[in-house]
Structure 1
Amino acid sequence: MERDISAPESPRRRYAPWAMTAIVTALVALLFQGSLPPLNIAAAIFALMGLRQIRRRPDRYIGRAFCWLAIALVLILAILTAMLQPPVLDDAPATAPEPRTIEVE
């Protein structure tokens, strides 16, 4: 009942830490409704780092779907925030101008 020492056991695959960080950061950005651009950018960077980590060690890490989901969520939040944000008016009068009257003789 001895174990065969010549066949090393492969370590159990687990989720990449950067992938988990990316999805959590993207969900936090969703809670803030995309109003914090640095948080959105951080989630996208973490997702790219997670994809890189998984590509380098596919025998050890999984979580590619979490990375792509985080990137998609951040892009959707950025697009919706840009579409729904009210435009900034430069030096617009606070009230409507007085109507002009034309005198006819």
Structure 2
Amino acid sequence: MSPSSSRRHYSPWAMASIVTAIISLLLAGSMPPVNIAAAIFGVMGLRQIRRNPERYIGRPFCWIAIALVLILAILTAMVQPPLEEGVEQHMVPEQGAEALD
């Protein structure tokens, strides 16, 4: 066994989860599919590390990615106003436009 093969490596799923979570952060959580992908990658990374702990590391990356996308989802839901079905949204005229009429 060569020395390089006995060394543990970061899980590819863990790396994908943290990178995807950072991309989601840069997009300000505005793309839910990216958030969901980061969380799924994090879970897959945790599974991979649990199944082969002698080969892979990176649990913190997985947990950080999952926590980050959950926080982003919560903050995005708090900031965006709820959409009401069946109610037309009327634009409020600007004050300057009323003065011109």
Which bracket does the TM-score occupy, shorter chain normalised?
Answer: 0.7 to 0.9
5+ residue gaps, structure 1? 1-6, 97-105
TM-score by length of structure 2 reads 0.80
Shift of the 88–13 alpha-carbon distance from structure 1 to 2, 3 Å rule, reads same
2:90, 2:65 → 1: CA distance? 42
2:37, 2:54 → 1: CA distance? 26
Q: What residue is the counterpart of 2:88 in the other structure?
A: 91
Identity of aligned residues (%): 66
- Flag the structure with higher helix content: 2
Q: What residue is the counterpart of 2:52 in the other structure?
A: 57
Structure 1 runs (4+) deviating above 6 angstroms are none
5+ residue gaps, structure 2? 94-101
Measured after TM superposition, the shift of residue 95 of structure 1 is 4.9
Compare CA radii of gyration and give the structure with the larger one.
1
RMSD, aligned CA: 2.1
More off after superposition, 82-91 vs 47-56: 82-91
